[in-house]
Amino acid sequence: MRSILIIGGGLIGAASALRLQHAGVRTILIDPGDQRRGASFGNAGHLGPEQVMPWSTWANVSGAAGRAFGLGGALDFRWRDIGLWTPWSLAFLQACAPARVAASHAALSAILEDTMPAWKRLAALAGDAGIVRDHGHMALWMNPARADAGLKAWARTPVGKVRLREWSEAELARYEGVLRARPAAGLFFEGPGQVRDPQGARDAMLAAFEAKGGEIVTDSAVRVHEDGRVDLASGMARQADALLIAAGAWSRPLMAQLGVHAPLIGERGYHVHSPEHAWPEDLPTTFFEERTMVVSRFDSGLRATSFIEFGAPGAPADARKWARLEGHLRALGVRFAANPQRWVGPRPALPDYVPAIGRLKRAPKVLYAFGHAHLGLTMCAVTAELVLALAEDKAPALDIAPYALERFG
């Protein structure tokens, strides 16, 4: 293959574009150019090789009611989008069957195993090894009873090759001056990393891509064709030897044009972001377990993320969720701007929480890489290497059969 059109310039599209262009494939990246639209802009910056278990499990189903937004939890469904999430939820329930969970667990374990080395290779290719750092992350509890239950739950949960270690009293004292109260317990994950800034990482990849001769077209694909042609919103058309569909949660209608069902949903998350803060650089990314909220320190400021809101990718935001995040930060005593930056965006989620990466059997000029749900930042480096192997028709570093979209029929 000598040329490829990539649709979507989120982390998956940007990382793939850089890999392909570097390998000598003439690569054209098509994206409307609104940085804030996709999940890649607003994520928590965590590289999480420990997340080897899919979200589609009976344990998650049985605990769902207690996690409802109306009861103070992070889970919500947009009623207006019931037509989207009803069939998706049925497929999710099917993915909870024990054999499916085992298959998803194996697929996630395989793709997550090389996370940190692959990210370091990607950062080097982007010309900035400092994008990524070995940082570890922390699960923190403020309530002793919840801490006890939470620590027991983590002891039962597979986490791949990541090591867990409970922090001592002295280590927990590092949260003094950051939180109003001393945490009851903290479980440190050794192995995961962090990017210094998610948008900064994407910018670095795109700059390196252009420096290597890659072309960015600021436009939207309105129609994709099996022969590698794409019609654009501007009325122009582009053609290449192959296509890569990497449009995150918006990939579904594009795949439908090719006659393929991609059961994607927007699993929307929210963040508030404050340039002003007092979070030390060496304190790990922290997951406040009782509040289902992640706090991450980036070069651009402190960010709190949360929520799983099923609905259309571009639906209007629910401002109550930002207010809830700001309330959590106040209650914990975290220093934050009075009027923080606010953001909502869709994680591209498939019912089994395994990404879709492959080549369409019925249209071999079409490659696809989407559906990375909670782990698109984590997996973009490995995904880009798999995409390159597909494009070059070489054996990929791992068996990619489990990621084939055809698994959904």
Ligand X SMILES: Cc1cc2nc3c(=O)[nH]c(=O)nc-3n(C[C@H](O)[C@H](O)[C@H](O)COP(=O)(O)OP(=O)(O)OC[C@H]3O[C@@H](n4cnc5c(N)ncnc54)[C@H](O)[C@@H]3O)c2cc1C
Give the binding site for ligand X (CB under 6 A): 7-13, 30-32, 34, 37-40, 42-46, 48, 220-221, 246-250, 269, 271, 305, 345, 347-348, 370, 372-378
**CB closer to ligand X, 13 vs 150:** 13
Select 45 or 186, whichever has its Cβ closest to ligand X: 45
Q: Residue 237: beta bridge partners?
A: 231
State which residue, 347 or 359, has the beta carbon closest to ligand X: 347
Residue pointed to by tokens 């019931």: 82
- Contact in structure between 217 and 28 (CB atoms under 8 Å): yes
Q: How far is the CB of 193 from ligand X (least distance, A)?
A: 10
The b/e string for 170-207 (b: 16+ C-beta within 10 A; e otherwise) is eebebbeebbeeebbbbbbbebbbbbbbbbbbbbbbbe
Please state the closest distance from residue 176 (CB atom) to ligand X, in A: 26
**Hey, what are 383's tokens?**
């995904």
154 closest CA partner among 17, 51, 4: 51
The DSSP letter of residue 167 is P
The two tokens of residue 13 are 């599209």
Closest CB to ligand X among residues 75, 184: 75
Q: Min. distance of Cβ 53 from ligand X in angstroms?
A: 15
Q: Using the minimum distance from each CB to ligand X, give the nearer residue, 184 or 343.
A: 343
> CA 287, CA 47: separation in Å to the nearest integer?
13
For residue 48, the minimal CB distance to ligand X (Å) is 6
Distance CA 408, CA 256 (A): 13
Query: Cα dihedral angle (89, 91, 92, 94), rounded to 10 degrees?
Result: 130
| Nearest alpha carbon to residue 275 among 318, 336, 327 | 336
Nearer to ligand X, 46 or 291 (CB): 46
Distance CA 147, CA 138 (A): 13
Query: Least distance in Å: CB of 229 to ligand X?
Result: 14
Which of 50/184 has CB closer to ligand X? 50
Minimal distance, residue 314 CB to ligand X, in Å: 9
- The distance of closest approach from Cβ of residue 173 to ligand X in the complex, given in angstroms and rounded to an integer, is 26
Q: What are the residues facing 4 on neighbouring strands?
A: 27, 242
Smallest distance from ligand X to CB 45, Å:
5
Pick 94 or 234: Cβ nearer ligand X? 234
Q: Give a three-class secondary structure readout of 183-200.
A: CCEEEEEECCEEECCHHH
Number of residues assigned to the chain: 409
Q: How far is the C-alpha of 404 from the C-alpha of 356, rounded, in Å?
A: 6
Q: How far is the CB of 98 from ligand X (least distance, A)?
A: 26
* Secondary structure of residue 142 in the 3-state scheme: coil
Nearer to ligand X, 42 or 214 (CB): 42
Q: What's the half-sphere exposure (Cβ side, CA atoms, 13 Å) at 198? A: 26
